[in-house]
Amino acid sequence: MAVPFRRVSKTSKRTRRAHDALDVNNLVVCSNCGKKIRPHRVCKYCGFYKNEQKIEVKSSKKD
């Protein structure tokens, strides 16, 4: 098994890992119900996408 000849410095290690951070998801407001959803997706709360009803959502409230 290969073993590194020299230790990797803190600067080299941190430079390599500079792009490993997670990004925060962007959220937009649904034009129908006003809840925050991911862009370019059907709203899972009301079923609308681009001001059209795309899917029928069953209510999860138990009466």
Please tell me the predicted confidence (pLDDT) of residue 60. Answer: 65
Q: Which amino acid is at 11?
A: T
What are the two backbone dihedrals, phi and then psi, of residue 20, each rounded to the nearest 5 degrees? -85, -5
With b for 16 or more beta-carbon neighbours within 10 A and e for fewer, the 42-63 pattern comes to: bbebbbbbeeeeeeeeeeeeee
pLDDT of 63 reads 47
**Low-confidence spans in the chain with pLDDT less than 70:** 60-63
Whether this model's pTM surpasses 0.85: no
